[in-house]
Amino acid sequence: MTDLQCPATAILLDNDAAPPSWLARLQLAGRFEARGPDAVVALVEETADLYRGEAFVVAAPPADIAQALRTRGTAGTAPIIVEIDSGGWRTVPAP
């Protein structure tokens, strides 16, 4: 069960790739970089607490993103959109 607050939305991007075209249509609260799957998880979760109801970007190496997603019980590759709330991480389709 999810909480009553709006989830935060993390857009996880390959730090070496061009951003997807749909990213320009989103209003972003911030952009961050991480290295290592544990750092990606920590950054996403800490930032999600600060940006409830908003979207932010985390750029990282693709393998780190894939491992971070697996750690949180989901799968996928960058670019990927993830909603985060007390119920955990869940992927959502790109706009």
Residue 34 domain flag: yes
So what's the pLDDT on residue 86?
Answer: 87
Residue 1 domain flag: no
What's the CA gap between 34 and 26, in Å, rounded? Answer: 21
So what's the pLDDT on residue 1?
Answer: 45
Which residue would you say has higher pLDDT here, 80 or 86? 80
Residue 61 domain flag: yes
Q: Give DSSP secondary structure letters for 6-71.
A: PPEEEEEEETTSPPPGGGGGS-EEEEEE--SHHHHHHHHHHHHHH-TT-EEEEEE-HHHHHHHHHH
- Domain with 25 in it: 8-92
- With a threshold of 0.85, does the pTM exceed it? yes
Residue 3 domain flag: no
Number of domains in the chain: 1
